[in-house]
Structures are given as structure tokens and as C-alpha cells.
Amino acid sequence: DAKTTQPNSMESNEEEPVHLPCNHSTISGTDYIHWYRQLPSQGPEYVIHGLTSNVNNRMASLAIAEDRKSSTLILHRATLRDAAVYYCILREYNYGQNFVFGPGTRLSVLP
Amino acid sequence: ETGVTQSPTHLIKTRGQQVTLRCSSQSGHNTVSWYQQALGQGPQFIFQYYREEENGRGNFPPRFSGLQFPNYSSELNVNALELDDSALYLCASSSGTSGSSYNEQFFGPGTRLTVL
């Protein structure tokens, strides 16, 4: 299984940008990079995903390194509601396979 | 549009008992996946159902079994409960053909199972 490495925890101040790194040196050519987050007492929720090019949506931006061995989730202005565990996941392109979650990064947002 | 719902919210069982957890998928979704999340860890994939058939399984013993119904709702059954089965059980639904890298998964709030 392709694996990802993330810092255990990060801290940010409210209304400041946050850069959450993820290393995936064994990524294969058909693996998509997905980010999910899990707010307290909730199931994970989709944030963003991409393959090679940088991606933007209303929640965040995803910057993917040229060699695809790392990526960064960018929250442009952190709010208290963004405090969550963020998971970087490689989606294996095998029939019937699902997300392989690591322990993720616990993001704390300080007021 | 109704999201993914799970029942019950919480459940307490004793070792050796059997339990059934239920999941209603989001409208229009034909694929349901189940995950186990131990405290402080990421979710671990149990299995997936696509159009009423199991089409993928993680590293879980056969006492973990499931069903998917024609309306795409699903059940997770666990027999001979062990203390280590205490966890949050998450159901996720998605649409389209299983195996695609494009399909966003929509998770329910989970069922918290405690085994005493």
C-alpha cells in the first residue's frame, strides 16, 4: 500500500494561512491525492483531491510537488471551525479498494 | 438531499455477544464502505458493498460481515465480540463504479460501540 507521512500535530492562529504537509514518496502514477478532515465527534469529510496539477476549491488549495512525492494542503484563512484532524490519503486504483487512512495531523486553531 | 445516517448512535455490548449496525446511504449512492476507528487512530477499512455484493475487504476476520439491500442501505454484523472491537464504526457512501479514484466518499457520524 502506498503510504503517507504527516506531522502529528500543528498549530495556527485564527485568520492566518495554514500549510499542512504530506509526504508520499512511494506514490504511483495513477494514485490520486485526497484530503479529508474529521471534526470532533463527526465522520471524516472531503476537503479536496488532485492528481498532478494544483487544485483550488471553496475550502482549500492543494499544491502538488512536480515529482508528486509530496503535497501541501493550504487553508487560506484558518477559522476556529477548521480545528480538526486532517488526513492525506492516496487512493489506490484497484477495484474494491478504499481509502487507507493514517493517523493524520491534528490542527489546533488559536483565537 | 439526505446525508448518510447511521444507527444506533451508541451501543454497549458484552464480550461474546453479536451486534448489528445500520447505515442509510446518501440518495443516489450505490456503494457503501465500512470503517473501524479506534480511539486516536485513523479509520481502518473493513469492507465495501457495491450493488449488494461485497467487492473489497480489509484485514478483518470473517466474524465481521455485512449486507447491502436493494435500496443500497447496509448492515455491519460483528459476531463473538471482543474487547478490541470497541471503536467508532463509520459508514461511507459514494456513487459510481467501485475502484474509481474520482469518487468522493460521504461519511456518516458513526456508531460508538463499547464492548465490556
Q: What is the pLDDT of residues A59-97, one digit of tens each?
A: 999 999 999 999 999 999 999 999 999 999 988 655 455
Tell me the residue type at B45: F
**Which residues are CB-contacts of A67 (< 8 A; sequence separation ≥ 6)?**
none
Contacts of A93 in chain B (CB under 8 A): 99, 101
Mutate to test the interface with A, among B46, B105, B106, B112 (most CBs of A within 10 A): B105
Q: What is the pLDDT of residues A1-46, one digit of tens each?
A: 558 999 999 999 999 999 999 999 999 888 889 999 999 989 999 9
Q: Give the per-residue pLDDT at B101.
A: 47
Residue B105 to residue A46, Cβ atoms within 8 A: yes
**Which residues are CB-contacts of B116 (< 8 A; sequence separation ≥ 6)?**
B12, B13, B14, B15, B83
Q: In this model, does residue A50 exceed pLDDT 50?
A: yes
**Which residues are CB-contacts of A38 (< 8 A; sequence separation ≥ 6)?**
A44, A45, A84, A85, A87, A104
Q: Give the per-residue pLDDT at B1.
A: 58
Q: In this model, does residue B92 exceed pLDDT 70?
A: yes
Taking the CA of residue B99 and the nearest CA in chain A, the distance in Å comes to 4
Q: Is B35 on the interface with A (CB under 8 A)?
A: yes
Is the separation of the CB atoms in A51 and A34 below 8 Å? Answer: no
Q: Give the per-residue pLDDT at A82.
A: 97
Rounded mean pLDDT of chain A?
91
User: Looking at A9-13, B73-77, B103-107, which range is the least confident one?
Assistant: B103-107
Q: Give the per-residue pLDDT at A2.
A: 59
Q: Is B56 on the interface with A (CB under 8 A)?
A: yes
Provide, rounded to the nearest whole percent, the portion of chain A with pLDDT above 90. Answer: 72
Backbone dihedral angles phi then psi of residue A96, each to the nearest 5 degrees: 85, -5
Cross-chain CB nearest to B104 (options A46, A97, A104): A46
